[in-house]
Structure 1
Amino acid sequence: MRFVETVQKHGYRFVADVKRIEPLAEGVFRANEDSILSATYLSRARDSADLAERRVFDRLSPPATAEDGHPEMSVTATEAVPPEEPTSAARSTLILKLAAISVILLASVGLGLYLYSEYFSNAVRTGGKRSFAVLPVRPLNAANRDDVYDYEIGIAEAVIHQLNSLKGFTVRPISSTRQYSDIAQDPIAAGREQKVDYVLASNYQIADGRIRVTSQLLNVATGETDLTYKGEKPVADLFAMQDAIAVEIGSLLKERFSTTRNRPTAKRGTDNEEAYRLYLHGAALADKQHHTEVFKAIECFEKAIQLDPNYALAYARLANAQSTVVGNRSGAAGEQYPKAKAAIEKALAIDDTLAEAHSYLAEIKSDFERDFAGAEREHKRALELDPNSPIAHRMYSLFLTYLGRHDESLSEIKTAIDLEPASVLNQLLLGRSLLFARRYDEAVTHLERAAEMDPEFLYPHQSLVIAYRMKGDNDKAFESFLRSRIIAGEEQSELHGWRSTYALSGWDGIFERQLEKAKVQERNGKPNYNLLANLSSELGRREEAFAYLEKALVQHGGLTYLKVHPRFDSLRSDPRFDDLVKRAGFE
């Protein structure tokens, strides 16, 4: 059989019969819709391998000459021209070159398989669900942004409710995506930060009493636009407009991903537009977890309730904000918790299917009533109602920490982080869970991360003081202490006083000074018995510490960490401590 023939003045020509072997169709790889990427990645790996092979053989082939503009083909062997026996050096060179080809081919195929496996393993980690972030709907004209809650947040939350009702969808809550309202926000960057598969980025324009909305579903991995929505609605009826746009976008995604609805769409809970605006504003303020913002949030929720006395969500968030006031030590537990209890009972009387309302009731039962069995029932009910609620998982994690069930607590807070990865509160609680589990190095890592996520958030710094102290790094602990005082707004003269005290007396001096200030507050009718007990314990004043713990027990506040807080370790050998733990309801 002949493979080549001689062509005068040109060289040789390949004359054997050639048959084209078609590659497998892409569809061969597509066992189902979720495996589309496997075909794509393998196809790209195959293309990369072909390209690499061509480039290597180009380098191996001797240079060609040309006559009349036609390249001259050169081959190394034919039947008519026997090849010369290669030298040992040539054989070695050929072997090395073939080895290089093999390495490149294997690397290309390996890369494709790695990319596929990364996609597949991520799907397994998320239970095969697709994750989405719905960004605030941004105006094309940034000059007028007075209607933030009507359009930017209102439409986004309506869309979130729609997508949350679809099977196989995990959607970031508005508390996570609210921050991406800047006109210049890169949606892909937001998607990476939120660790989602897709981002829905939208803009709107209002003219002649109508709103025109354009939305793009962006694939975060590729940066490509998966689908586009365009809709136009009258703005006269705000809720009807929000719902109509949300339903159309939801239907578009439902069809795109061939899914179905597996639960009812969540409702906003009120027909009063102004009450809804106040609720959204209050939620934005409360989510900041800052002292002054919480009081503003309470005002918003109370005004919303005045406008709609049957607004269950507003009652639930009001209860949580009032509980936060106690957590911030900005009000007496005896005053705030009864208000919170009344608000949460009202919320559940209106709608007992609100998952977060059950979580807030659980908080009241554990923190104020010391009914830990009842609290756990409420936490489990919240998770039963909404397994994808980061609030429910986060608050259950906190409760489990109180009880010293650290492995369970860490599992719950990690689930909350999976659902809401950019939440500073989740990072804080992960750090605190590790702190109370005595895993101090890991605690520092996550608490520092929380501090980086929100440099003005007080609580990560306060927790870092304890974590560094337990590690024995007193200087780093003092740095965190100073940062917390700066965030709290202390004057320079006070900061200078703390520095001088630490330089002269170390942490004992700091504790003495804190204790004296806390006693002044007590004399002024604003006692914080938990803090007083903490400081007395740190200074080794056992009798004083137990006296303050007894008062804290009567006050119904601040003893939730009694069983696990390392600051009480010096008291645990005393039989009175075990008795106190029992009377606090832990056993």
Structure 2
Amino acid sequence: MQRRLAAIVAADIVGYSRLAQLDEAGALDALRQNQTEIIEPKVKAHEGRIVKFMGDGLLAEFGSVVNAMRFACEMLEATVKAASELPPDRRLRYRIGVNMGDVIVEGDDLFGDGVNIAARLEALAEPDSILLTGLVHEQVKNKLELRFDSLGRRTLKNIAEPVSVYRVALGEGTRALEPVSLDLPQRPSIAVLPFESPGDDEEQRYFSDGITEDIITELSRFRALFVIARTSSFAYRDGGMDVTAIGRELGVRYVLMGSVRRTQHKLRITAQLYEAESGRSIWAIKQDRDPSQLFAMDDEIVQAIVTALPGRIEADWLARGKRKRTDNMVAYDYMLRAWDNLYRNGGTEHRQIAELLHCALELDPGYAQAHALLAFVTVLGWYRNEVPDALDKAYELASQGVALDAEDGWCHFSLGFVCLYRRNYEEAELHYQRAIELNPNDAELLSQFGSFLAYIDRTEEGIEWIRRAMRLNPYRQAWHWHDMGFNFLVARRYEEAVQAFHRVSPPMPFDNCYLAIAHAHLGQPEKAREHAEAMIASRPDSSVQTWLPKEPFRDPATLEHFLEGMRKAGFPERPATKPALAVINGGR
């Protein structure tokens, strides 16, 4: 094993993942230009060696600690100057740690506390700043024209002894230097900080880090969320900053923090979601588990957190959005209001939903989910016979949504849904399955797939998928119970269908038709008639020949089974009035 004394510089860009999500190609070009035009020449000029670039990070070695400090200051100053013409939220902003110590050499790479301490200092540093150890300070304080601020002794993670830390007091030319608040993305943004794990238990630390990483990965599947990447979130491992400062630095509206604490008899996992601007807590979860099952429960814990978070964030954003003036709304606000209308009214106000989506697309023509939801409500218009070629238009919109974002599960769901009503069952199933592959933790997608399976007479599978959805999301289950009742009705399990539809809360008006059919087939004519009358009262156009024949059952016998139930329940064969409204089975 080869060892040597070296001066080490560790550097990392603050919020690079956020820059990449805003403009991936632009951020990568800026990073490469910074590396080739600033970092590499200055490392060479000061007789150093680049050990490695790590994505947006850098590790460099110098034989002289004076040269290491000169490099760090010149590199930071050049980077700030080069970015000065850019908007604040588009700038590359480094934080840098400098240490001198013993390192282990393995090939071209370096290891050991000499490297680790530099990396820990870099993680503690503010944007556009340099931290150095007391040992480095002693070597350079009389050799470089720099001023230093002492930050005292700091305990660094996994370093046995506290370390004296100094900060370079940089001049006006380098400090664009007061922290800049990044503009918030125009959709919900969240940073998941490393879950705290008190003590020195390495197994427990790996477990808590694993939970954090898995939450970041799974939340990233929800395309409506802007999720800060692991490298940026883990820079805040050592704590010491409040959620408001973290939100400002990373440009996020929400911050998730958590902890893993183990005693002899209990493992407690907690998580809390904060609205960063105000610092208020908007959601929390606490789970106690058997500590002997430490790693076996990882997926279960992550799933419990991930399935709850998007809905909580959505609700908070919607509440804020309802207080906004219309002229201050962004595309996501319109999109969320459209979803909210669909949830509350079951698709009855599809014109209003379409108007909201057109507003979203005017602001952002490339909004994939808006295209997808507009395709869905276009099918509602087809139900009303308002636009004869509406299914073709819906297919075009849904296909455009997938073309804009092929990794969005809801875009694939929408295309699958349209294909179902075009009776292209094979293509529909492919897109439903792709939607679930992209986001297996989205309970709504699982429930919708269960509903699709009823149309192709695979009700046992459908019921199981809906049960999975219910386990994932115990909070908002109205649509799940509706989808479950629909499967039971297709399967001719009438009593279970009745129980399921009665659990739909708030009730959906068109469920009265399904309840009437179920009671009719159970030989309960009075109850069947009661629900038929309720359906006709809410929708005077309701009849055997109105909208149910448009349901895309693959087997004609299944449709006839439904129509027979409507006749037994007392529905008229044709409407007494011109059809005014119709709602299909399905929706988010």
- TM-score interval, smaller chain: 0.3 to 0.5
More strand by share: 2
More helix by share: 1
TM-score (normalizing by structure 1): 0.42
Query: Larger Cα Rg: Structure 1 or Structure 2?
Result: 1
